[in-house]
Amino acid sequence: MGRSRCADVVLRRDVAVIGAGHSVFGERNLSPKALFTEAFFEATESVDNGFDAEAIGEAYVGSLGFGGGQLGNLSSFVVAEGPAKNIPARRVENACASSGFAFRDAYLAVKSGLVDVALAGGVERMSGLTREHQRFWLGVSGDTLWERLAGVTFAGVYGLMAARHMHEYGTTKEQLARVAVKNHRFGAKNPKAQFQKEVTLEQCVNAPRVADPLGVYDCCSTTDGATVVLLARADVAKKFTDTPVWVVGSGAATDTLATHDRESLTRLDATAKAAKSAFQQSGLEPKQVNVAEVHDCFTIAELLALEDLGFCAKGQGGRFTEDGQSDRGGAVTVNPSGGLKAKGHPLGATGTSQVAEIYHQLRGEVPPERQAPDAEFGLAHNVGGSGATCTVHLFAR
């Protein structure tokens, strides 16, 4: 269906992704610089026709700064001292949407005409945090005054969203669990994922509670990891590869940090606004998207994303999932990488991890069990906090 409608749309193919690198996610016991370097070299070596790091004109590094002694000037730490000395680089921090925004800024830089090739990436080390780190930093991306200091964790906030979604729309724990079952099935086939094993519906529903109605399998894990993607202007991109993946829409938005300041607990306005902006820019419609990586930090977050991105009507995320519409072979293949849920969530590295997956999906180079069929249009959706910041990007092959 996507393809028959494609003829109606004139897509602007002026900025492309030309390479992607992705560290293994998990407890890596490596420094942020080592993690970033792993992703960096995989990205530069992935470029079809060869690539010299000196071609990079600008670098955007998403990170909250966890896990390394170098809090300030992190971008210099991982870029200038690494393989790309003197490239203008900066850290972009928007909580768990850090590298979604890093990607948007790299896209704008290339689109400006001043930069031929830009790097967007992210890095986080979440294992081995000291007690001081945990006390001081975990939860810093949600609202501090009204939520964190009152003891509401992220699982708590999303638990409230899930309970409200159940109340308003009749969503069930089984429907939530189906998100976890699907994403772990995909993750089991992703050698970069932290959790490479399947889970059953029964395991999920009966798992220990974290923040009712969310059990342990409804929550993603934070982990170590780094990701890097390379963007280039159209004329430059064609030198590097015959099969670039085009960025055809970029949307972003913010919202209040505290959920009580929002109109609804079952809708992320930042997602809806970012999606609207990206779809308008591209001319595409949600039903044309074949494959999407969405921000499933909790299973309820994937349901909200399905609705707020326009893949299904508000309140229908549970049913859409139950009917297999978000699975391979359904209306849109959602989180074929395993998502945050199975792949793990290295905060600042997640946004460009999603872009990397869409890049490989649209090039048709993903193992068959995870490959979205006939993938022509892709979407990446990255959320910071409980919806305070969001980016949505649309891609075409």
Residue ranges binding its own copies (CB under 8 A): 58, 64-65, 68-77, 79-81, 85-95, 98, 101, 104-105, 108-109, 111-115, 132, 136-137, 140-145, 148-149, 250-257, 261, 269-270, 273-274, 281, 384-385, 388-389, 391
Task: Compute how many other C-beta atoms are within 10 angstroms of the C-beta atom of residue 70.
Answer: 16
Q: In whole angstroms, how close is the CB of 199 to its own copies at the nearest point?
A: 29
Task: Compute how many other C-beta atoms are within 10 angstroms of the C-beta atom of residue 136.
Answer: 11
Q: Are the C-beta atoms of residues 351 and 60 closer than 8 Å to each other?
A: no
Q: In whole angstroms, how close is the CB of 152 to its own copies at the nearest point?
A: 14
Structure tokens at 38: 């792993």
Residue type, 45: E
Tokens 């670039």, residue located: 244
Q: In whole angstroms, how close is the CB of 64 to its own copies at the nearest point?
A: 6
Which 3 state secondary structure label does DSSP give 245? strand
Q: In whole angstroms, how close is the CB of 166 to its own copies at the nearest point?
A: 27
CA angle at residue 330 from 325 to 331, to 5 degrees? Answer: 80
Q: What is the largest CA-CA distance in the chain?
A: 56
Q: Are the C-beta atoms of residues 293 and 357 closer than 8 Å to each other?
A: yes
Q: Would you give the distance in Å from CA 114 to the centre of its chain?
A: 27
CB burial of 355-369 (b: ≥16 within 10 Å; e: otherwise) equals: bbbbbbbbbeebeee
Residues labelled as active-site residues: 96, 345
Beta bridge partners of 381: 392
CA distances from 66 to 70, 140, 288, 318 (A): 9, 11, 38, 34
Q: In whole angstroms, how close is the CB of 292 to its own copies at the nearest point?
A: 20
In terms of Cα–Cα distance, which of 381, 355, 373 is closest to 19? Answer: 355
Query: Residue 29 burial by CB count (10 A; 0-12/13-18/19+): exposed, middle or buried?
Result: exposed
Q: Are the C-beta atoms of residues 82 and 21 closer than 8 Å to each other?
A: no
Q: In whole angstroms, how close is the CB of 274 to its own copies at the nearest point?
A: 8
Given the DSSP bridges, would you call strands 214-215 and 209-211 parallel, antiparallel or unpaired?
Answer: antiparallel
Q: In whole angstroms, how close is the CB of 318 to its own copies at the nearest point?
A: 27
Pick the closer one to its own copies by CB: 65 or 378.
65
Pick the closer one to its own copies by CB: 134 or 206.
134
Structure tokens at 270: 């930042």
Helices 350-362 and 98-111 meet at what angle, rounded to 10?
A: 60
Pick the closer one to its own copies by CB: 288 or 386.
386
Q: CA quadruple 369, 373, 375, 378: dihedral positive or negative?
A: negative
Pick the closer one to its own copies by CB: 335 or 382.
382
Structure tokens at 231: 């963007």
Pick the closer one to its own copies by CB: 1 or 10.
10
Task: Please provide the distance, in angstroms rounded to a whole number, between the alpha carbons at the two ends of the chain.
Answer: 16
Half-sphere exposure of 304 (CA within 13 A, CB side): 31
Q: In whole angstroms, how close is the CB of 212 to its own copies at the nearest point?
A: 25
